[in-house]
A and B are shown apart, each in its own frame.
Chain A
Amino acid sequence: MNIVVAIKHIPSIADDLPVKGNNVDFDSVDFVLNEFDEQSIEQAVLVKEAVGGTVTVVGVDMIGELDGVLHLALAKGADKAVKITGDDPAADSHQQAKWLAEAIKGMSPNIIFAGVQASNDLDGQIGPMIAAHLDMPYIGGVSSVEVVGDTATVNKEFAGGVGAKYAVTLPMVVGVQAAFKPPRYAPISKVRQVAQTATIEKVAPSGEASAGLTMKKMAPPVATGHAEMIEGSSKEVAAKIVELLKSRGLA
């Protein structure tokens, strides 16, 4: 079973996002693995553990720092790591999806996983676009996957615990909302060990696609309102909140 995971290396939103011109100033931000890709990698490894096969993790190297992410994926149970040498921090989802689809095509994938969305999917997510390029069915919002023979049974979540079960003839692309189990932890020592021995295959980007969007402006949202901020030490904040709750009959 050839299991492929397509990942995205994206600007971290843990820190401020500086703006340069009409876009994020990519030189001044840290890049991290899309959080849904952690779920997607876990789900791929779970499928491999259930039915056997090989998990290949592939991503576009946006700023030349993808190795750390790939080493972590290998430490968590992926077997192969591939980076597409895009080296364009501004490459949009359309461009990344095209490069990924071209790279994945040659891997004879039976099932492809991608995170259901990423916070920088201004032009949509890579999962459905890879499916379109490879002419495979796509289902997103998935929270469990079971493979038997050439059929995958997936649970898709709508909202509030309501969902639907689908049976799909492989190959397909799955957009992972959450893995069936929470992602496993890889100890730093194991990641370091992997980093010393692992080989990461490099692939040159192939194919062109574009979001087709002209960026006019990128800026923090203009707040229409703002919370009344409670100042002081933690104890003072606690006292003021308790007072507020009591005054409203809520405590």
Chain B
Amino acid sequence: MSNDVFVITEHMDGKFSDVSFEMVGKAKELASAWGGQAAAVALGSRVSANVFSSDSTIQVDDVNLAEFNPEAYGKVIEALVKEKSPRLVMFGWTATGMDLAAWLSARLGKPCAAYVKGMSVEGGALVASCQVYGGRMMADVSPEGDMAILAVLAGSFLVEAGQGSTVASQVASPVALDGLKTKFVEAIKPAAGDVDITAQQKLVSIGRGIGSKENVELAEELAQKLGATVSSSRPVVDAGWLPRTRQVGKSGLKVKPKLYLMLGISGAPEHLEGMKSAELIIAINTDKKAPIFNVAHYGATADLFEVAEAMLELL
């Protein structure tokens, strides 16, 4: 068993995601505390992976890895981890990492912590701080045994710390990738035609608190008066009250408007990931303990309908 830290990086259209760099930066800190090495692991086909500040970068190049395929990626990562026995394997708590981290944990019988927002070493042991229960609780946990798997929330660490130019060593896939049951068919591009919320200066964003599809109209009216566009958190879109093009957050879009006026959004970590850089965040929520009040610049514990209607009269 080594003291190395593996970071399973991720990329799209040839560009590595911020969370990959964030994790590499953190991996270097941990590996150095343990006297090990930080290795970035990049799976793909003809990807330029000489972009990390890791001690080494392991690049597995195979045509079957050209597109993300959870089955193929899982097999390769499992084989690499078994061969190299790192002390820690980090994934992003992202659309891709979420398919792999818990799966690998169950395959190997090694501990897994998800929603990881912080990591530290206490007396040689890793302590992971995990943002659970929709951001209402932080759980500090210490994995048992000689290897652990973490799934790390994007935006938790510095991107710069992981940027560099370590030359990747190319390796062939350690496992045969024929006979896969999962086949990539095609990429899906965003539906065109609706407004682009990432290009808007002002957003009135609604959450579950809006209550029903009929009530969306009130937000539309308020947005119109403000010269803003209506966006939302995920539950509103899942309920079919707004199209997916309006969704802000991890599985939606990242926005950075001048104004982000939030009506009835509690502020789960997944939503914060998409809007925390907005210039002015105002949140209205009936729950005074909603996590959003730790992020918003201004807040009010009030009924969103009453406030919106009163604003309409004043505008």
Checking A39, A117, A237 against B238 with a beta-carbon cut-off of 8 angstroms, the contacting residue is A39
Q: Are B291 and A221 in contact (CB under 8 A)?
A: yes
Q: A123-B111, A141-B98, A157-B95 are in contact. Are A166 and B184 (CB under 8 A)?
A: yes
Q: Are A132 and B103 in contact (CB under 8 A)?
A: yes
Contacts of A239 in B (CB 8 A): 310, 314
Contacts of A65 in B (CB 8 A): none
Q: A211-B112, A221-B131 are in contact. Are A97 and B188 (CB under 8 A)?
A: no
CB of A228, distance to nearest CB on chain B (Å): 5
Q: Which of A138-166 contact B (CB under 8 A)?
A: 138-141, 153, 155-166
Contacts of B71 in A (CB 8 A): 137-138
3 nearest A-B pairs in the assembled complex, by CB-CB distance: A124-B102, A161-B190, A212-B111
Contacts of B261 in A (CB 8 A): 241
Contacts of A126 in B (CB 8 A): 102
What are 10 A-B residue pairs whose CB atoms fall within 8 Å in the complex?
A119-B133, A157-B251, A162-B187, A164-B185, A220-B289, A221-B138, A222-B138, A227-B296, A228-B298, A241-B300
- The answer to the question of B85 belonging to the interface, with a C-beta cut-off of 8 Å to chain A, is no
Q: Which of A165-192 contact B (CB under 8 A)?
A: 165-169, 172, 175, 177-178, 181-182
Q: A139-B70, A215-B141 are in contact. Are A163 and B182 (CB under 8 A)?
A: no
Q: Are A160 and B253 in contact (CB under 8 A)?
A: yes
* Count: A-B pairs, CB below 8 Å: 282
CB of A156, distance to nearest CB on chain B (Å): 7
- The answer to the question of A91 belonging to the interface, with a C-beta cut-off of 8 Å to chain B, is no
CB of A217, distance to nearest CB on chain B (Å): 4
Q: Say which one of B21-29, B30-38, B142-150, B155-163 lies at the interface with A.
A: B142-150
- Nearest A residue to B257 via CB reads A250
Q: Are A129 and B103 in contact (CB under 8 A)?
A: yes
Contacts of B101 in A (CB 8 A): 124, 128
Classify chain B's interface size: 35 or more
Chain B proximity mask over A197-233: 1 for CB below 8 Å, otherwise 0:
0000000000001011111111111111111111100
Give the docked Cα–Cα distance between A241 and B106 (Å). 50
Q: Say which one of B46-54, B168-176, B280-288 lies at the interface with A.
A: B280-288
Q: A178-B238, A215-B139, A250-B280 are in contact. Are A162 and B133 (CB under 8 A)?
A: no
Give the docked Cα–Cα distance between A128 and B252 (Å). 22
Provide the main secondary structure of the chain B interface.
Answer: mixed
Q: Are A140 and B99 in contact (CB under 8 A)?
A: yes
Q: Identify the interface centre among A155, A212, A248: most chain B CB within 10 Å of its CB.
A: A212
Q: Are A218 and B139 in contact (CB under 8 A)?
A: yes
CB of A243, distance to nearest CB on chain B (Å): 9
Checking A11, A17, A251 against B315 with a beta-carbon cut-off of 8 angstroms, the contacting residue is A251
Contacts of A94 in B (CB 8 A): 105-106, 112
Contacts of B183 in A (CB 8 A): 166-168
- The answer to the question of A13 belonging to the interface, with a C-beta cut-off of 8 Å to chain B, is yes
Listed in ascending order, the chain B residues whose CB lies under 8 Å from chain A are 12, 67-71, 95-96, 98-107, 109-115, 127, 130-145, 148, 151, 181-191, 198, 202, 225-226, 235, 237-240, 244-245, 250-254, 258-259, 261, 268, 280-284, 289, 291-303, 306-311, 313-315
Q: Are A226 and B293 in contact (CB under 8 A)?
A: yes
Checking A17, A182, A248 against B240 with a beta-carbon cut-off of 8 angstroms, the contacting residue is A182
Contacts of B308 in A (CB 8 A): 238
- Nearest A residue to B241 via CB reads A182
CB of B253, distance to nearest CB on chain A (Å): 4
Q: Are B307 and A234 in contact (CB under 8 A)?
A: yes
CB of A211, distance to nearest CB on chain B (Å): 6
Give the docked Cα–Cα distance between A223 and B291 (Å). 9
Q: Are B12 and A158 in contact (CB under 8 A)?
A: yes
- Beyond A128-B98, A159-B252, A167-B185, list 10 extra A-B contacts (CB 8 Å): A140-B98, A164-B186, A166-B69, A182-B238, A215-B140, A221-B294, A238-B313, A239-B314, A248-B280, A250-B226
- The answer to the question of A35 belonging to the interface, with a C-beta cut-off of 8 Å to chain B, is yes
Q: A119-B133, A237-B302 are in contact. Are A160 and B226 (CB under 8 A)?
A: no
- The answer to the question of A90 belonging to the interface, with a C-beta cut-off of 8 Å to chain B, is no
Q: Are B143 and A220 in contact (CB under 8 A)?
A: no
Q: A119-B132, A221-B131 are in contact. Are A163 and B188 (CB under 8 A)?
A: yes
Checking B12, B99, B137, B239 against A138 with a beta-carbon cut-off of 8 angstroms, the contacting residue is B99
Q: Are B185 and A153 in contact (CB under 8 A)?
A: yes
Contacts of B281 in A (CB 8 A): 227
Checking B111, B252, B268, B310 against A234 with a beta-carbon cut-off of 8 angstroms, the contacting residue is B310
Q: Are B133 and A120 in contact (CB under 8 A)?
A: yes
Contacts of A132 in B (CB 8 A): 102-104, 106-107
Give the docked Cα–Cα distance between A222 and B313 (Å). 38
Contacts of A97 in B (CB 8 A): 106
Contacts of A165 in B (CB 8 A): 184-188
CB of A231, distance to nearest CB on chain B (Å): 8
Q: Are B144 and A221 in contact (CB under 8 A)?
A: no
- Nearest B residue to A161 via CB reads B190
Q: Are A234 and B240 in contact (CB under 8 A)?
A: no
